[in-house]
Chain A
Amino acid sequence: MADLASEDAFVAFERVQKSYDGENLVVKDLNLSLPKGEFLTMLGPSGSGKTTCLMMLAGFETATHGEILLGGQSINNIPPHKRGIGMVFQNYALFPHMTVAENLSFPLEVRKIGKSDREAKVKRALDMVQMGEFGGRRPAQLSGGQQQRIALSRALVFEPELVLMDEPLGALDKQLREHMQFEITRLAHELGITTVYVTHDQTEALTMSDRVAVFDDGRIQQLAPPDQLYEEPENSFVAQFIGENNTLEGTVTSMAGNTCVVTLDDGEEIDAMPVNVSQVGERTKVSIRPERVEFNKDRLNADAHLVKATVKEFIYMGDVFRFRLSVAGNDDFIVKTRNAPDAVKLKPGETIDIGWLPQDCRALDA
């Protein structure tokens, strides 16, 4: 799915740049294409250019350079109302002076769809989000979650092929958010809609998307399915940004095919998989996920390099144990283990050996 020829793509950004002030580029040379029916999430910290990309696609911002294609046609000069793209806004943007049904009916009215047709579609769209009885209410009389559902069904009621969502769940509490994540993906897949979803919440991105584009500094840092993104980050930004991550700094001292040895700054040696390093002597940040670190003596691989660690803190979280260790000068090295009957409980002050599989330890750019 990675590299799609732009002819087959439903939505495509080609060498798109955007600058607001003529001095700084907010979006730098963006190339992105997605096929019909895909759920793509743009994930990144605020100011990374993800919302700007979404607004360019919706037509509310113009690209400074490059082309945006929808269904194979350039839409750079098509005004937003002719693009036929559904959109869900961060604050829902439900019209407060209209009832829920009137809100949903609005996109159909401007499309000059007949009254009986309109009513049927509105009803179907409301039923789709289980809000059938709320047609007569005003948005202000609904809870946040209900407003969210209405905003969603309003974006879908005119059956667009592409729906954009700009942090739609940002204002909801955690439980509701999780529920809505499921709801949105279900709808998107059932209706076969192409979705571009913008968020800064990585959990949301991982659980909902077919592919995730991680944005930083106006560029896509990595574009990959969630599992690949989490397990095989391509650079240290992605590794840090997605999920919890332990970083150790050092220098590559030997390389052999799929593994290399990194000498940490305090002299310890570890095995790693070279990702962004190509030669001996290069500086590198190695990244290890907390749950991939092994400290159970019985399971440690004797052949691999082991590292000495001191336990600093033990945090009980119910389903998992979390330990904060001091490793090679890094006091924030986190290790997680499942709360299983044979789980080892480490005590603060203890000194232990830790290790990992070389492929879980990725040597990335410094």
Chain B
Amino acid sequence: MSDETQSGPVLAADGTPLKQSLARSLRNQKMRALALIGPLLIFVLISFVIPIGSMLFRSVENGMVEQTIPLTVEALKDWDIDSGESPNEAVYQAFVEDMIVAIEAKKHTRLGTRLNYEQTGMSSLFRKSGRKIKRLDPQADAPFKDKLIDIDKKWGDAQTWAVIKTHSVKITNGYFLNAIDMQRTPEGAQAQPEDKRILITLFKRTLFMSLVITFSCIMLAYPVAWILANLPMRTANMLMILVLLPFWTSLLVRTSAWKVMLQQQGVINEVLVWLGIVADDARLVMINNQLGTIIAMTHILLPFMILPMYSVMQTIQPTYLRAAKSMGATNWTAFWRVYFPLSVPGIGAGSILVFILSIGYYITPEIVGGTKGVFISNRIAYHISSSLNWGLAAALGTILLAVVLILYWAYDKIVGIDNVKLG
């Protein structure tokens, strides 16, 4: 029973500071915990952090022009882009030297493809000129300016060189500008010509349709979750199988089934025509448009709404409703003032899941969306697999990621993320 007060840090029994001794005794535990999550950590790093990081980087990376034609890029620095005149002989000399090396390495067509994103015709220009430049000798055949213009008169066009100079920077905002229907020009960022503006529309449509899908999922899922949560356990589990059944069927099959249902010669139209509700020559158009995408995606994403709602509703005790009624609340008031607020975390969790899933959905809009019902993800897929403009695809993906994060942040501000429960 010593009442001595120690000055300085509290010491352990052996005289070392207590903090140090505590840290030592916890270190082993921490190392063991780290070892346990180690495999997951590495997996996440390889499969998640690195790909996303490389995607983010690819959306601004633009080393190709400088790597392929370094001398030309150097020579173009002296050229005044606003002069409206073609550059001097030095640039042509450098360009031919660069091209001979590039043709040797078969890189010139790739550069053509890259520049073709910015101005159509560049790809064929490079391919065509490449064949002829190959035969030139960098010393004997000089000067080159007129020879190149002979090969293709576009080489005498200042616009061609302006495109090369504008896109010769290593880190570019060009892809992002393209992603929001703008372009990088010598005069700075400018709007794309009207006939090329489609991406903003697609972004808006993606957001709008995702909201509609999320909302219709809420409306359909809420009563289902309510019934499931209020049934006896056995029956609820039986019905749960029906909710989960779609999960066990291929996504492709389900989407195709909707095609069979919704098309103009499909089941629904045939039945309506047979019943005389719809005239034979005025069959409903329910597919290859936004309606088709909304119907099919609502169906496919519905379980993601039902499940969190169900698990949250299960935790709401039925006595809350009874208590509310015993205090004089009508059925509706009891529901609205007591049950509904308690079920909001489930709605929130379901909405976030459905919204984020649908904003990046690809297969279903691709199959039933036609041209009017496709999402931004379909455009991303196009740029990855058809036009091979990965930089633009990466920029689109990055914007999508940013939109989701912003919405998530806004949700946290408005509703509060701790109000999201999966059960």
A residues sitting closer than 8 Å to B (CB atoms) are 58-60, 79-87, 89-91, 93, 95-97, 106-107, 110-111, 154-155, 158, 164
Expressed in whole angstroms, the minimum distance between the Cβ of A163 and any Cβ of chain B is 10
Inter-chain contacts of A85 with B (CB < 8 A): 326
Mark out the residues of chain B between 214 and 266 whose CB falls within 8 Å of any chain A CB in the assembled complex: none
Expressed in whole angstroms, the minimum distance between the Cβ of B258 and any Cβ of chain A is 39
B residues sitting closer than 8 Å to A (CB atoms) are 317, 319-320, 322-331, 333-334, 337-338, 341-342
Contacting residue for B325 out of A80, A91, A155, CB 8 A: A80
- Asked if A110 meets B329 with Cβ closer than 8 Å, knowing A93-B317, A93-B320, the reply is yes
CA distance A141 to B333 in the complex (A): 26
Q: Smallest CB-CB separation from A163: which chain B residue? A: B326
Expressed in whole angstroms, the minimum distance between the Cβ of A78 and any Cβ of chain B is 12
Q: In the bound complex, do residue A58 and residue B326 qualify as a contact, i.e. CB atoms below 8 Å apart?
A: yes
Q: In the bound complex, do residue A95 and residue B326 qualify as a contact, i.e. CB atoms below 8 Å apart?
A: no
Q: In the bound complex, do residue A110 and residue B333 qualify as a contact, i.e. CB atoms below 8 Å apart?
A: yes
Q: 11 new A-B pairs (CB below 8 Å) besides A95-B342, A110-B333?
A: A58-B322, A80-B326, A81-B326, A87-B326, A89-B322, A95-B323, A95-B338, A106-B324, A107-B327, A107-B329, A158-B328
26 A-B pairs whose Cβ atoms sit less than 8 Å apart in the complex: A58-B326, A60-B322, A80-B325, A81-B329, A81-B330, A81-B331, A84-B328, A86-B326, A87-B323, A89-B322, A89-B323, A93-B317, A93-B319, A95-B320, A95-B324, A95-B342, A96-B342, A97-B341, A97-B342, A106-B329, A107-B329, A110-B333, A111-B328, A155-B326, A155-B327, A158-B328
Expressed in whole angstroms, the minimum distance between the Cβ of A340 and any Cβ of chain B is 42
CA distance A60 to B326 in the complex (A): 9
CA distance A97 to B343 in the complex (A): 11
Q: In the bound complex, do residue B323 and residue A93 qualify as a contact, i.e. CB atoms below 8 Å apart?
A: yes
- Asked if A110 meets B328 with Cβ closer than 8 Å, knowing A89-B319, A93-B319, A93-B320, the reply is yes
CA distance A154 to B327 in the complex (A): 9
Inter-chain contacts of A154 with B (CB < 8 A): 327
Q: Smallest CB-CB separation from A164: which chain B residue? A: B326
Expressed in whole angstroms, the minimum distance between the Cβ of B134 and any Cβ of chain A is 76
Which 5 pairs between the two chains have the least Cβ-Cβ distance?
Answer: A107-B327, A93-B323, A87-B326, A93-B319, A80-B325
Expressed in whole angstroms, the minimum distance between the Cβ of B37 and any Cβ of chain A is 31
Inter-chain contacts of A96 with B (CB < 8 A): 342
Contacting residue for B328 out of A58, A81, A97, A164, CB 8 A: A81
Inter-chain contacts of A83 with B (CB < 8 A): 326
Inter-chain contacts of B329 with A (CB < 8 A): 81, 106-107, 110
Inter-chain contacts of B320 with A (CB < 8 A): 93, 95
Residue among B323, B329, B331, B337 with the highest chain A CB neighbour number at 10 A: B323
Dominant secondary structure of chain B at its interface with chain A = helix
Expressed in whole angstroms, the minimum distance between the Cβ of B419 and any Cβ of chain A is 10
Q: In the bound complex, do residue B319 and residue A81 qualify as a contact, i.e. CB atoms below 8 Å apart?
A: no
- Asked if A106 meets B326 with Cβ closer than 8 Å, knowing A91-B319, A97-B342, the reply is no
CA distance A82 to B329 in the complex (A): 8
Dominant secondary structure of chain A at its interface with chain B = loop
Q: In the bound complex, do residue A80 and residue B322 qualify as a contact, i.e. CB atoms below 8 Å apart?
A: yes
Q: Smallest CB-CB separation from A85: which chain B residue? A: B326
CA distance A93 to B317 in the complex (A): 8
CA distance A171 to B324 in the complex (A): 21
Inter-chain contacts of B342 with A (CB < 8 A): 95-97
CA distance A128 to B338 in the complex (A): 25
Inter-chain contacts of B330 with A (CB < 8 A): 81, 110
Inter-chain contacts of A79 with B (CB < 8 A): 325
CA distance A83 to B330 in the complex (A): 11
CA distance A91 to B318 in the complex (A): 11
Residue among B320, B324, B326, B338 with the highest chain A CB neighbour number at 10 A: B326
Inter-chain contacts of A80 with B (CB < 8 A): 322, 325-326
Expressed in whole angstroms, the minimum distance between the Cβ of B312 and any Cβ of chain A is 12
Inter-chain contacts of B324 with A (CB < 8 A): 95, 106
Contacting residue for B327 out of A59, A90, A97, A110, CB 8 A: A110
Expressed in whole angstroms, the minimum distance between the Cβ of A154 and any Cβ of chain B is 7
Inter-chain contacts of B331 with A (CB < 8 A): 81
CA distance A164 to B342 in the complex (A): 25
Expressed in whole angstroms, the minimum distance between the Cβ of B319 and any Cβ of chain A is 4
Inter-chain contacts of B333 with A (CB < 8 A): 110
Q: Smallest CB-CB separation from A96: which chain B residue? A: B342
CA distance A84 to B328 in the complex (A): 6
Contacting residue for B317 out of A58, A59, A84, A91, CB 8 A: A91
CA distance A260 to B342 in the complex (A): 65
CA distance A87 to B329 in the complex (A): 13
Expressed in whole angstroms, the minimum distance between the Cβ of B318 and any Cβ of chain A is 9
Q: In the bound complex, do residue A106 and residue B337 qualify as a contact, i.e. CB atoms below 8 Å apart?
A: yes
Q: In the bound complex, do residue B327 and residue A158 qualify as a contact, i.e. CB atoms below 8 Å apart?
A: yes
Q: Smallest CB-CB separation from B323: which chain A residue? A: A93
Inter-chain contacts of B323 with A (CB < 8 A): 87, 89, 93, 95
Q: Smallest CB-CB separation from B334: which chain A residue? A: A81
Inter-chain contacts of A95 with B (CB < 8 A): 320, 323-324, 338, 342
CA distance A84 to B325 in the complex (A): 9
Inter-chain contacts of B338 with A (CB < 8 A): 95
Expressed in whole angstroms, the minimum distance between the Cβ of A129 and any Cβ of chain B is 17
Q: Smallest CB-CB separation from B324: which chain A residue? A: A106
Expressed in whole angstroms, the minimum distance between the Cβ of B179 and any Cβ of chain A is 42
- Asked if A81 meets B325 with Cβ closer than 8 Å, knowing A91-B319, A93-B319, A93-B320, the reply is yes
Q: Smallest CB-CB separation from B320: which chain A residue? A: A93
CA distance A155 to B324 in the complex (A): 10
Expressed in whole angstroms, the minimum distance between the Cβ of B315 and any Cβ of chain A is 10
Q: Smallest CB-CB separation from B345: which chain A residue? A: A97
Inter-chain contacts of B334 with A (CB < 8 A): 81
Q: Smallest CB-CB separation from B316: which chain A residue? A: A96
Inter-chain contacts of B319 with A (CB < 8 A): 89-91, 93
Inter-chain contacts of A86 with B (CB < 8 A): 326-327
Inter-chain contacts of A91 with B (CB < 8 A): 317, 319
CA distance A97 to B325 in the complex (A): 17
Q: Smallest CB-CB separation from B344: which chain A residue? A: A97
- Asked if A106 meets B327 with Cβ closer than 8 Å, knowing A80-B322, A97-B341, A97-B342, the reply is yes
CA distance A58 to B327 in the complex (A): 11
CA distance A360 to B281 in the complex (A): 97
Expressed in whole angstroms, the minimum distance between the Cβ of A103 and any Cβ of chain B is 9
CA distance A55 to B329 in the complex (A): 17
CA distance A278 to B329 in the complex (A): 54
Inter-chain contacts of A89 with B (CB < 8 A): 319, 322-323
Expressed in whole angstroms, the minimum distance between the Cβ of B9 and any Cβ of chain A is 35
Residue among B320, B327, B338 with the highest chain A CB neighbour number at 10 A: B327
CA distance A51 to B317 in the complex (A): 18
Expressed in whole angstroms, the minimum distance between the Cβ of A4 and any Cβ of chain B is 25
Q: Smallest CB-CB separation from A84: which chain B residue? A: B328
Inter-chain contacts of A158 with B (CB < 8 A): 327-328
Contacting residue for A107 out of B317, B322, B328, B341, CB 8 A: B328
Expressed in whole angstroms, the minimum distance between the Cβ of B338 and any Cβ of chain A is 6
CA distance A86 to B324 in the complex (A): 10
